[in-house]
Amino acid sequence: MKLIIFFFVILSFVVSQQDTYTVKFEDESLESFINTVGEITGNNIIIYDRTLKNKKINLASTKPITKETLYNIFLSVMEYNGYIVQSVGDGASKVIKIRPATSGSSVPTITIFSEEELRKYQNQDMFITMVINLEHISAREVQTTLRSLRIVNPQSGNLGGIDSSNTIFVTDFAPNVKRIYDVVKLMDQPGIDKQLRVVKLKYGNAQELVTQLNELAAQDKKTRRGIGPNLEDAKLAADVRLNAVIIQAYPSKIEQLTTIIKSLDSNIFNEPAKFHYVQIKNIDASTLQETLSKLVKKQNIQEGEIPVAIETDTQNNALIVQADENTWSQIAALIEVADVRKPQVQIEAALVEVNPNDVLGLGVELFYAENSEDGKTTIGGGSNFGFTNLVAVNGNTAVPINQNQAITAEKFGKLPIVPARDPFQRSGTFFANYDDLFTLPILLNAIQTQTDTRVVFLPSIVVNENATAQLKVADFQPSLETKIDDSGAFIDSFGDFQEAGTTLIVTPHISSENNYLRLDISQTVEAFDRASLAAGGVQAKTTRQLVSSVSIPDGHTVAVGGLTFDQDVLTVEKIPLLGDLPLIGFLFQTRVVTHQRQNVFLFVTAKILKDENFEDYKKLSHEVKLETSSFGVDMDLIDKSFRRYQQKYGLSKEEPEPLYMLEYQSPNKN
């Protein structure tokens, strides 16, 4: 009855005092207080704990209060009694949930992110979550400190953090969140910056020393004996190139660690030298021994130091090193870096040569001679461009007339020369006879020669990176040597062999990105001219050579160089004056028109073979074996496992298509 009377008093007070209230509860249950607040504020309140009716409250206000003040008093009463007030929804659908504080970690809360938002709630006992970003100290360190202070409500509060974003979040009643926020801001202040120092070692090995110090610090931290180096808030790293220890720590800690490192970096020259046997797996041990020996000779040997000796076991491709432990550790590190398997490169070069030539020859010879008679002077004459011979005729016999020869003849005539002069050796000859066989008043000789030569050289080779490879295919022709014996006679004997062929010399250098190469390449193609002979019976030789250093992308075909030669030659042989006559001058001429064109191009394809298990090299070899097999070669004589590879890489693979010089394409990179 007491609660009902109080309720009516309040309602009449609301009207008379314009929405202000004077509250007074004497030994009333907490459940009755909650219901009264709900009626006054108009909120729907859900209670999860039925024990509220057993808890008593004594509360009185000496001055009238508003609804907002009453609600804040309500929040404080709930917090004091160990409950959390959760507000859900807005307006008429707003619901107030009251939960025990022990369930605080699972209660949805308002989340705020700034100090300005915190000011709105800092005087209310609302259950909230605040996200705090840290600038100078680590989130892990702040969490550890706050837990040791036990500043977070142990029943309902919660504390967590995210190391990657250096952020903490606090869930608690707003006044306590404000308190925690103030403590965190006092902690999150800029301190003394850490510094770096590089300590170079004279005798010790930096990597080994850092490992030993870290192991001692970890063991000491585990046993808590306090005898190892204190590396808390400090980091140590080794620079192998400088043989130095890099320290990152606060200034006082840097000085302490520097002292320890220098004390450990002692002279160990009195240590006896040891022998080390190292098997070299990927490079030539002799070459590596020469390089290391040169480096060792440049080092100054101090008093008491044992000289370093490096020898090669050629048969086993190994090194034998005599050195103290400090020097050996440096040499071993160099060997480890140098003795790595180099990637291989397949180089395909295509030297394409196209030579279209066109020769047109046209020649005319005229001749007239009177028959000789006793007591009579006869005349004759004509032109001679190498198509006919002047002959002395006696009856039916004709003898060519040579120089410095006495001639007795009934008459003179001409006969065609077979073969004629070059380029008329194979030509059409037209002549006219008058009176007898040897009378050739006019002879016409004409020839047109068209030559279209296409040649392609396709050398291919596989070589290790930075190594030089040479592929050479050559023909040899014997040459004659002429000597004079004691009697003054000329004697021809075998002199030597002359060489002509194809030579490819290449050195590949792979870029660090493994996507392009620099090639030092030399391509030479020499060929004998079967149609011509030089002095001593040696055939003439043509040479095509290109030397270059070029960078090309992996797996692509590029044009490295080329040459185009175009020549037109007009040769006119004529009888002076007569050959220059208009209209009829051509009867006293021989003309040869030569058009020569030469095109030479070099294409190069480079492919890096990167697979550590040589699968790409095996596939490449298999494709070459397929091509070889297509020529009718029994591959079982070359590789007995050929059929097994054929099954692995595809039995249905077609035979390689022929590669023509005008249809050159990049090989399939798959």
Domain of residue 64, CATH code: 3.55.50.30
* Paired tokens of 5: 């009377």
pTM score? 0.44
pLDDT of residue 234: 79
Spatial CA neighbour of 539 closest among 605, 453, 479:
479
Separation between Cα atoms, residue 298 and residue 614, nearest integer Å:
40
C-alpha distances out from residue 359 to 363, 423, 424, 574, Å: 13, 8, 10, 19
pLDDT of residue 656: 42
pLDDT, averaged per 10 consecutive residues of the chain (670 residues), comes to 36 45 75 79 75 74 77 77 75 74 68 85 81 86 83 78 84 85 84 80 84 78 54 79 84 85 72 79 89 81 70 90 82 88 85 77 71 65 70 70 64 66 61 58 68 74 86 79 74 75 86 83 80 62 84 86 79 79 79 79 85 81 81 79 66 42 37
Strand partners, 235: 248
Are 329 and 373 in the same domain?
A: no
Are 365 and 444 in the same domain?
A: yes
Are 376 and 435 in the same domain?
A: yes
Structural domain includes residue 3: no
The answer to whether the beta carbons of residues 527 and 500 sit under 8 Å apart is yes
Are 93 and 148 in the same domain?
A: no
Are 183 and 162 in the same domain?
A: yes
Are 408 and 444 in the same domain?
A: yes
Structural domain includes residue 436: yes
Q: How many domains does the chain have?
A: 6
Spatial CA neighbour of 331 closest among 370, 291, 358:
291
pLDDT of residue 543: 83
Are 333 and 382 in the same domain?
A: no
211: domain CATH number? 3.30.1370.120
Are 373 and 391 in the same domain?
A: yes
Structural domain includes residue 552: no
Structural domain includes residue 560: no
**What amino acid occupies position 511?**
S
Q: How many CB atoms lie within 10 A of CB 35?
A: 16
pLDDT of residue 221: 60
Are 165 and 222 in the same domain?
A: no
Are 24 and 68 in the same domain?
A: yes
Domain stop point among 100, 126, 158: 100
pLDDT of residue 660: 31
pLDDT of residue 1: 34
Are 442 and 375 in the same domain?
A: yes
Structural domain includes residue 393: yes
pLDDT of residue 222: 58
C-alpha distances out from residue 331 to 288, 359, 609, Å: 11, 71, 30
pLDDT of residue 61: 72
* Spatial CB neighbours of 60, under 8 Å, sequence gap ≥ 6: 23, 24, 25, 26
Structural domain includes residue 12: no
Spatial CA neighbour of 128 closest among 186, 169, 161:
169
Instruction: Answer positive or negative: Cα dihedral of 273, 275, 276, 279.
Output: positive
Structural domain includes residue 462: no
pLDDT of residue 420: 60
Domain stop point among 397, 428, 450: 450
Give the phi and the psi of residue 116 in degrees, each rounded to 5. -65, -40
* Paired tokens of 160: 């967590």
Q: Where are the beta strands (DSSP E) in 226-343?
A: 235-239, 244-249, 274-279, 309-313, 318-323
HSE-up of 27 (CA within 13 Å, CB side)? 1
pLDDT of residue 57: 77
Are 248 and 301 in the same domain?
A: no
The answer to whether the beta carbons of residues 280 and 289 sit under 8 Å apart is no
Structural domain includes residue 13: no
- Cα 619 to its chain centre, rounded Å, is 22
300: domain CATH number? 3.30.1370
Domain stop point among 211, 241, 264: 264
pLDDT of residue 79: 75
Which residue range forms the structural domain that includes residue 165? 110-187
